[in-house]
Amino acid sequence: MLFVAVDIGGTFTDLVAFDQANQRLYSAKRLTTPDHLVDGILNCVNASGLALTEATQLIHGSTVAINTLIERKGARTALLVTKGTRDVYAIGRGNRPDAYNLFFTRPKPLAPRAAIYEIDERLLAGGVVRTPLDPADIEAAAKQIAAEGYEAVAVCFLHSYANVAHEEQASAILRRALGSRYVTASHEIMREYREYERISTTAVNAYIGPKVSGYVGSLEGSLRDSGFRGELSIMQSNGGVMSPEIAAKRPVMMMESGPVGGIIACAQVASALGHSNSISFDMGGTTAKASLVRDGMPAMAEGYYVGGYESGDPVMIPVVDVIEVGTGGGSIAWLDEVGALKVGPRSAGSSPGPICYGLGGEQPTITDANVVLGRLDPTTFLGGEMKLDLDAARRGIDEKIAKPLGLSMDAAARAIIDIAIAKMSLAVRQVSVEKGYDPRDFALVASGGAGPLHAVAIARELNIPTVVIPWFPSHFSALGMLLADERHDAVRTFPAPLDTLDFKALAGAVAELEGDLRSMARQAGAQIEIFLDLRYVGQEFNLSIPVTPQQIAAQDRVGIRAAFDELHQARYEHNAENEPVEMINLRLIARAPRAKPSMPTPGGSSAPARKRDAIMHAGPATSCDVYERDALAAGALIHGPALIQEYGSTTVVFPGDRCEVAATGELVIHLAK
Amino acid sequence: MIDPVTLEVIRNTLPAIANEMAADLQRTSYNMMIYEVCDFCTALTDMQGRLISQNVGGVSHFVADLGVIIEDVVAREGVDGFSHEDVFITNHQRVAGQHLNNIVIYMPILHRNKLVGFAMTRAHWIDIGGASTGLGASPLVSDPWFEGLQLDQLRIYEAGKLNKTLYAVIRDNIRYPESSMGDLRAQIAACRLGVRRLIELYDRYGADVVEESVTTIYRESETRCRKVVASIPDGVYEAESWYDDDSVTPNDPIRIHARVTVAGSDMTIDLSGCASQRRGGVNSRTLAAARVAYKALTEPSAAVNEGSFFALKTIIPEGKVMMAQFPAPMGGWSLIVPTVVDTIFKALAGAAPHLIPAAHHGLLGGSIVFIGKDPRTNANFVLQSLEGGGWGGRPHGDGESASVSVCQGNVKNSPIESMEIKTPVVVEERSLRTDSGGPGQYRGGLGIDVRVRNLVEGKWNMARPRRRKCPPWGLRGGGQGGGAEYFLKLAETQDFESVDQVMRPVPADSQVIIRTGAGGGWGDPMERDPQLVLDDVRSGFVSLEGALRDYGVAIDPGMRAVDISATQAARAARRRVAAE
């Protein structure tokens, strides 16, 4: 059994593989090929020396979904809604989260008003038909949509969570009439009430659908052409994987498919080292991301808004909580109109990339600054496969930053790094201090190609005592994907008082959702978890209570009720045992465990390979010990200043800090007090 | 001198405590005024009632308004008069100064048996007995006894022991006891959480460090606010506006007047020119208008604390409408506040043009309130939603549409599906209203129409918003925004009629349109880029006729293009008229 995981980021495509037969891990990193993403994957496969024909599993995560949405590069999308609700998408919830900001901006719909078609159909709460759907209306809309040249269509009718008939009928007509155009209906993604959020989720799915489904299709085709005969899986925002067929239908589930792998890996690696509380810090080429793991579990977002709560697109899917800032290795340093030095959010990406890549980049980046400071070795980047042009990086920083600011070149390079550190510290602060967690109680797990270069400085800024550099930091998301299970989520709004809940109808709904989930899951025998969202009558928010099929069969009102009262007490410190309870949603999760790789035990020595001059703090360069990570033995102790190099990443240990190699090979850096 | 990391942790933890209290309260409350309308606040104060931190995102007009209650209780009880697990309840207008539905629950925080502060919540209960002002009956109410139950700084728990008599008196004298007693539990739980979190902080860092940090945080907030005010030219700036009436005395407009003095980094907001207290329930005792305006101008994104207002002086003489004396009726206490905030902005529009948009709709929502009995369940129901309106054009762009007022922050409307699941109504439409936005170089945001059909008989609240005589104004030549109104069509009639009536009984199958106001325009509409006008016409935000009438832009009926020569002629003619 050969498991392969591939993670495509804005700058690099990463591969990690695990061969169960010989218990070996493989890795590779290649530049992302934006015009034909599949090339980057095949380049990685070739570089790793693996035979694609041998792979039994290939798990894939990608930023293609989220980038398509954030960069507003999706399809021209039309929307079909119930008569009277054309403006619901624009009106949203009417709220202004940024309460005192007089110049707030509301989320902008993906379908302009002219692209939203009202259909004279209407269901009532509970799904009873009030106005039947007239197929002729859908045919007429389809004609207009074709004439206007829309590339994708989203259908979201009121109360469709309770009765999918009208959406099914409409989408079938649209698919027939519009041929290859991408059509998606809200019930195909989630059957949960709240029309604005559901419209937004459906519109996002349609908007990114053509691009993402095309991408998944061409990926699978190319892999097959290259001899891959195994099973392809796509990473989802919920921390599980899905099949390419499902990904093509529900691309919105891929929204956070890149970062989620790193968080799964962070939770496992940190817990194994005794840090059940950890912060995942992942710095790639274009952005840095922070997320919190508490008691070994990644924090889940309580509502997910792509682009931020204030003015982002709401998406009703389960997703891990990630704070992201536009600071990555490729982020460009620039001077604004008054001559102030800024870093990011614009990134040189992988093409043209930083100046030092020598691929035509002319704007100095964070990576260029690291090369100039001597922290990155131009001769050993990516194991020496890619030579970096130090002189060009120096020239770029000198001309674009140092001279205009009247700084020395070294000072300019340091200033670029310092600004980046301050920005990224804010993201780490947002997931910890701002939620009331003292970062001193956490370990920072650094990943992404640029993470280990900057993690110690960020930890120092926030007084985090310990930094962990895991195996394959520059492939960490990919590593996490190898650790992920298959998972599918389904939800159905099912309002009913618990006292009179029709358990037969509930069992029917469970069976229906379970059927949906099993049809999505490729592994037979997936475990099904059932949750009822319950609340006291009159409340709006709910708690998800796990129930068993036996409880449903036995109509165990008392037990379910008691579990709810208990959780309410535990979570909110009060409950109301005499108040009526109602159910609002039914949720199912299907989970199928997968084989997990084990980490290799490090052998080797503890001696530095050589010395190199690098600038650590203000002042001249210091002579640093340089270590090759692959050669380090478990238990080795390294005192800063030191640079620890490995394929795809370099760890900076500052003077006074102490780095220990854990028994399982992770670098554990203890910061000087 | 506190080390910077500790200071940073405390600086961020204090608002996090208030926000955690808020999240708890919001998630476990029983009425949508709390969980959806966010008509509540949670806060920590020091023992003098100075605000240590307050939750973010609730209704803005609760900003830093709890201190007076603490000053009052400490004066009555003495600093040694509090025990662990005391829980106080108050809504008395003599001090609290708002409608009686706003129930304040708070607990003293004792660290090593010494009073160090209070954990507090204020939340809008759905009903407080009396004439049911929480559901819009405020215009009917002429005094506090008519309004409902008055609770004057009472201990509902004394050192952890429930006062059963008081509990029963409250439970038996309100209409929805299951809802409000649930809210009471949720408020107490939020306070307990606040007490515990602050004690943890005191235990961890020590009283001296926490208290010195709080003082430092106050000073930092003050400094940041002063910087912004210092950038506004010194001077005395004034503006006036009107609120139609107090709903009791017709044709007697309520004058609103703001006199803003900027001297260096000091700002004084003098509201002495506002009307005296009225017979109708628009009265209050509140500094909210001045504080909301000041906060928006100085530090809109930062957490609020007492230091946020150290450099602001607010003047409101006793006996004025916003400093009314007990027993003036206060059932509609906050109705005029957004208009007062806008008037303060208007005063500063010339001095700080880059900070000020044109007027917004200025109303606490297009308020949807329908009550009745659901024949399916035989239970009483309340339908509620607050709908947004248009905001004013900005110095650099169009105003946003369909957004809640300056006082309402993260207040959300109710989803159509949620309303229909919970109550026997059908929401027939929720739409943007063409041509409602005030014309301007930067157009005002649009108001909306929500049309609701009630499937069973019941009572609609249709108290007309009181901004007909003074609609949302434009700035620098921009036009005014469209006004707000209620329309009713009874089951047996053909047409909708404008209505101004509190708790109007209607038969099943009647329909109501809730219309919200729109924003004023910014700048001369004749200067608006004709291409933007064409975009607006294509989107239906502006009609073809409106384009010509309000913007002097001629567009072909197929909406294909701007007729440039006709537009130039129309605009030239308009300018000639204006010059004359």
What string of pLDDT tens digits covers the 580 residues of chain B?
A: 676 557 767 887 898 889 889 988 988 888 877 887 788 999 999 999 999 999 987 788 888 899 999 999 999 999 999 999 999 999 999 999 999 999 999 999 999 999 999 999 999 998 899 887 667 667 778 899 999 999 999 999 999 999 999 999 999 999 889 889 999 999 999 999 999 999 989 998 999 999 999 999 999 999 999 999 999 999 999 999 999 999 889 899 999 999 999 999 999 999 999 999 999 999 999 999 999 999 999 999 888 999 999 999 999 999 999 999 999 999 999 999 999 999 999 999 999 999 999 999 999 878 999 999 998 888 888 898 999 999 999 999 999 999 999 999 888 999 999 999 989 999 999 999 999 999 999 999 999 999 999 999 999 999 999 999 999 999 999 999 999 999 999 988 999 999 999 889 999 999 999 999 999 999 999 999 999 999 999 999 999 999 999 999 999 999 899 999 999 999 999 888 888 7
Distance CA A482, CA A3 (A): 7
| Number of C-beta neighbours around residue B279 at 10 A | 15
- What is the pLDDT at residue A4? 94
Closest of A357, A384, A381 to residue A368, by C-alpha: A357
The A residues from 196 to 235 touching B (CB cutoff 8 Å) are 196-197
Closest CA of chain A from B579, distance in Å: 32
Report CB contact under 8 Å: B432, A91.
yes
| Neighbour-count burial of A524, counting CB atoms closer than 10 A to its CB (0-12 exposed, 13-18 middle, 19+ buried) | exposed
Report CB contact under 8 Å: A96, B26.
no
Which of B192, B300, B417 lies nearest to residue A101, judging by beta carbons?
A: B300
Percent of chain A with pLDDT over 70: 98
- What is the pLDDT at residue B133? 67
Is the Cβ of A94 closer than 8 Å to some Cβ of chain B?
Answer: yes
Distance CA B374, CA B21 (A): 34
Distance CA A585, CA A253 (A): 20
Q: Which residue has the higher pLDDT, A624 or A309?
A: A624
Among A58-72, A326-340, B550-564, which stretch is predicted with the lowest mean pLDDT?
A326-340
Which of B28, B192, B421 lies nearest to residue A539, judging by beta carbons?
A: B28
- What is the pLDDT at residue B71? 97
Delimit the CATH 3.30.420.40 region(s) of chain A. Answer: 2-70+213-254
Report CB contact under 8 Å: B429, A84.
yes
Report CB contact under 8 Å: B410, A96.
yes
The B residues from 534 to 553 touching A (CB cutoff 8 Å) are 538-541
pLDDT tens-digit profile of A239-291? 889 999 999 999 999 998 877 888 989 988 998 899 999 999 999 888 899 99
Q: Given 1.25.40, 2.60.40, 1.10.150, 3.30.1490, which CATH number is that of A486-592?
A: 3.30.1490
- What is the pLDDT at residue A386? 84
- What is the pLDDT at residue B5? 56
- What is the pLDDT at residue B198? 96
Helical packing angle, B177-205 and B164-172, nearest 10°: 140
Which of A100, A434, A568 lies nearest to residue B60, judging by beta carbons?
A: A100
Dihedral of CA atoms B23, B28, B31, B36 in degrees, nearest 10, equals 30
Report CB contact under 8 Å: B26, A541.
yes
Q: Which residue has the higher pLDDT, B308 or A98?
A: B308
The A residues from 573 to 602 touching B (CB cutoff 8 Å) are 573-574, 576, 579
Cα A574 from chain centre: 35
B286 DSSP 8-state letter: -
Which of A88, A159, A537 lies nearest to residue B430, judging by beta carbons?
A: A88
Task: Report the alpha-carbon angle A106-A107-A109, nearest 5.
Answer: 130
Delimit the CATH 3.30.1490 region(s) of chain A. Answer: 486-592
Which of A438, A539, A568 lies nearest to residue B9, judging by beta carbons?
A: A438
- What is the pLDDT at residue A142? 98
- What is the pLDDT at residue A673? 81
- What is the pLDDT at residue B3? 65
Which of A87, A195, A462 lies nearest to residue B431, judging by beta carbons?
A: A87
pLDDT tens-digit profile of A618-635? 678 899 999 999 889 999
User: Which of B377, B416, B542 has the highest number of chain A CBs within 10 A, making it the mutation to test binding with A?
Assistant: B416
Percent of chain A with pLDDT over 90: 60
Q: Is residue A509 pLDDT above 90, yes or no?
A: yes
Task: Report the alpha-carbon angle A524-A529-A530, nearest 5.
Answer: 130
Is the Cβ of A536 closer than 8 Å to some Cβ of chain B?
Answer: yes
Closest of A280, A637, A657, A654 to residue A465, by C-alpha: A657
Which pTM value belongs to this model?
0.88
CB B107 within 8 A of CB B151: no
Contacts of A3 (CB under 8 A, 6+ apart): A17, A18, A19, A20, A55, A56, A57, A59, A482, A594, A595, A597
Which of B179, B299, B300 lies nearest to residue A538, judging by beta carbons?
A: B179
Amino acid at A131: T
Chain B's closest residue to A579, CA to CA, is B178
Which of B178, B296, B421 lies nearest to residue A495, judging by beta carbons?
A: B421
Report CB contact under 8 Å: B193, A541.
no
| Neighbour-count burial of A226, counting CB atoms closer than 10 A to its CB (0-12 exposed, 13-18 middle, 19+ buried) | middle
Which of A91, A433, A573 lies nearest to residue B189, judging by beta carbons?
A: A573
- Residues in B touching A130 (Cβ below 8 Å): 426
- Residues in A touching B430 (Cβ below 8 Å): 84-85, 87-88, 91
- Domain A2-70+213-254: assigned CATH number: 3.30.420.40
CB B96 within 8 A of CB B102: yes
Average pLDDT over residues A532-544: 89
- What is the pLDDT at residue A606? 75
Distance CA A483, CA A581 (A): 38
- Residues in A touching B411 (Cβ below 8 Å): 94-95
Closest CA of chain B from A113, distance in Å: 6
The B residues from 421 to 450 touching A (CB cutoff 8 Å) are 421, 426-432, 448
Cα B384 from chain centre: 16
- Residues in B touching A158 (Cβ below 8 Å): 416-417, 420
Q: Which residue has the higher pLDDT, A144 or B31?
A: A144
Report CB contact under 8 Å: A195, B300.
no
Average pLDDT over residues A315-334: 89
Q: What beta strand segments (E) does A214-360 contain?
A: 231-235, 241-242, 278-283, 288-294, 297-298, 304-306, 313-315, 323-325, 331-335, 341-347
> What ipTM is given for this predicted complex?
0.95
pLDDT tens-digit profile of A106-128? 988 999 999 999 999 999 999 99
pLDDT tens-digit profile of A452-507? 999 999 999 889 999 999 988 988 888 889 888 888 999 999 999 999 999 999 99
- Residues in A touching B197 (Cβ below 8 Å): 436
Which of B401, B426, B429 lies nearest to residue A90, judging by beta carbons?
A: B401
Task: Select, from the ranges A421-425, A426-430, B412-416, the one with the highest average predicted confidence (pLDDT).
Answer: B412-416
Which of A100, A103, A194 lies nearest to residue B415, judging by beta carbons?
A: A194
What confidence category does residue A435 fall into, taking pLDDT thresholds of 50, 70 and 90?
low
Closest CA of chain B from A383, distance in Å: 38
Render the burial of B202-230: b for 16+ CB within 10 Å, e for the rest: beebeeebbbbbbebbbeebbeebbebbb
Contacts of B197 (CB under 8 A, 6+ apart): A436, B13, B17, B20
- What is the pLDDT at residue B266? 98
Report CB contact under 8 Å: B409, A158.
no
Is the Cβ of A125 closer than 8 Å to some Cβ of chain B?
Answer: yes
Report CB contact under 8 Å: B60, A429.
no
The A residues from 390 to 449 touching B (CB cutoff 8 Å) are 429, 433-436, 438
- Residues in B touching A95 (Cβ below 8 Å): 388, 403-404, 409-413
Is the Cβ of A565 closer than 8 Å to some Cβ of chain B?
Answer: no
Strand A24-31 to strand A12-19: parallel, antiparallel, or no bridges (unpaired)?
A: antiparallel
pLDDT tens-digit profile of A539-594? 888 888 999 999 999 999 999 999 999 988 877 878 888 889 999 999 999 988 87
Task: Report the alpha-carbon angle B466-B470-B472, nearest 5.
Answer: 100
Residue B419, CA distances (Å) to A332, B485, B513 in order: 49, 21, 16
Report CB contact under 8 Å: A93, B412.
yes
Report CB contact under 8 Å: A574, B186.
yes
Closest of A353, A461, A386, A380 to residue A417, by C-alpha: A461
- Residues in B touching A197 (Cβ below 8 Å): 415
Report CB contact under 8 Å: A98, B430.
no
- Residues in A touching B450 (Cβ below 8 Å): none
- What is the pLDDT at residue B561? 95
What confidence category does residue A617 fall into, taking pLDDT thresholds of 50, 70 and 90?
confident
Chain B's closest residue to A581, CA to CA, is B30
Report CB contact under 8 Å: A159, B178.
no
Report CB contact under 8 Å: B432, A194.
no
